[in-house]
Structure 1
Amino acid sequence: MARITLAVTGSIASYKAADLVSNLKKQGHSVTVLMTQAATAFIQPLTLQVLSQNTVHLDVMQEPYPDKVNHIELGKETDLFIVVPATANTIAKLAQGLADNMVTSTALALPHYIPKLVAPAMNTKMYDHPATQTNLKTLETYGYSIIAPKESLLACGDVGRGALADLDTILQQIKEKLHEQTL
């Protein structure tokens, strides 16, 4: 099965990463989790470590193996890279090629042929902002596929587009990208 690298960023929807990891493991995939510091405020790394049965990577400056550069090696060891949930901040960093944390550094170090998915989750106003929309279009030119958010009651109490796509939708997109790789 596939080696999937899941990047979790600082959105209230971060807790849904636990279900995603669990489902991917049940399908037989190996899952490596990267987290931004903000994501750890919403879900504990230990939760994702137990579910993935792999180390959760938090700090780009932490190098567990002296003979390897961690974020480079992680990029080499993935068959699919996905950001769930993807905040406006991380989307902007990815679009601009910034590499200031484990998620963005690993993303920038990915081989060009690795399928990349982004599932945004944020307030409607943030999602619809021209900067976010421009950044998403930029990511598409870099080979990322966007898993559109759904319209729903958001954590802030607003109703609109910006809620993380349903788990089934995300799993289907992963399945399709992995199938494309085998063709």
Structure 2
Amino acid sequence: MKNIILGVSGSIAAYKAADLANTFTKEGHAVHVIMTASAQQFITPITFQTLTKNKVYTEMFDEIIYEDVRHISLAQKVDIALIAPATANIIGKLAAGIADDMLTTVIMAIQKKPIVICPAMNTAMYENPVTQDNIKKLSGYGYQFVEPREARLACGDLGKGALANLDAIIAAVHRLLEQGAIV
């Protein structure tokens, strides 16, 4: 059994993260979901709690546990972190070193473990030079990306920006879990 953090940010593709949580849980992994406030506009925490049988983290300070600093303890026990879907906002925050919510704080505290980011956004946002620079920057730090696919997007546009096929995301997670820690 591996410990997987599944970060969910605010994209219409957030509902697909439920399938990822369900798949990894059925494989016997402990899935710990962290949702941004925007993600909660698309799907509720109870969905993930039901699928994973674990607490879903939505707030940085929703509980005070004196023997445990939650964002650090989650980061220390993780075998892999996956952000799916990852918006331009979350990618930008991570590239800038901004840790202002539970998801970005936990990700910033992870050391020597794989972090997989699965972008999902409008084509113009994905192709924006700022987003592309942020992806290059994070890739340089060792973050792994599963490229979005071309499809008809929720806004009606046709282009690259749809969340990668779930099989591709699952395969990337499996491959990185087999490889182990990043040195």
TM-score tier, shorter chain, comes to over 0.9
- Please list the CA deviations of residues 63-87 of structure 1 after superposition, one character each: whole Å capped at 9, or x if unmatched: 3412221111110110000100000
Q: Flag structure 2 segments of 5+ consecutive residues without an equivalent.
A: none
Contact (CA 8 Å) 1:63, 1:69: kept in 2 or not? no
Are the aligned partners of 1:151 and 1:162 in contact in 2 as well (CA < 8 Å)? yes
| Aligned match of 2:107 | 107
CA distance in 1, matches of 2:63, 2:53: 19
Q: Which position in structure 1 is the counterpart of 2:127?
A: 128
**In 1, Cα distance between equivalents of 2:82 and 2:93:** 15
Q: Deviation at 1:170?
A: 0.4
The amino acid that maps onto 2:94 is: L
8 Å Cα contact 2:14-2:43 kept in structure 1: yes
Aligned residue-pair number: 182
| 2:50 counterpart letter in structure 1 | V
Q: Which amino acid aligns with 1:36?
A: T
Give the aligned partner of residue 175 of structure 2.
176
| Cα-to-partner distance string for 1:139-177 (whole Å, 9 max, x where unaligned) | 111210000000000000000000000010000000000
Shift of residue 45 of structure 1?
Answer: 0.3
The offset of 1:26, in angstroms, is 1.2
CA gap 1:160/1:72 in 2 versus in 1, 3 angstroms: same
Residue 77 in structure 1 maps to residue 77 in structure 2:
yes
Secondary structure at the residue paired with 2:180? Answer: helix
Taking the aligned partners of 2:81 and 2:25, their CA distance within structure 1 comes to 15
Q: What does residue 158 of structure 2 align with?
A: 159
CA-based RMSD of the aligned residues comes to 1.2
In the TM superposition, 1:1-183 aligns within 5 A as 1-111=1-111, 113-181=112-180
The answer to which of 16-25 and 173-182 deviates more is 173-182
Q: Which amino acid in the other structure matches residue 22 of structure 1?
A: N
Q: Gaps spanning 5+ residues in structure 1: where?
A: none
Which string of whole-angstrom CA distances, capped at 9 and with x for unpartnered residues, describes residues 74-126 of structure 1?
10110000100000000000111100011100011111x11110000000000
- What SS does structure 2 have at the residue aligned with 1:100? coil
Q: Deviations over 1:12-48 (max 9, x none)?
A: 0000011000111111111000000000000000000
For 2:181 and 2:70, locate their aligned partners in 1 and report how far apart those are by CA, in whole Å: 27
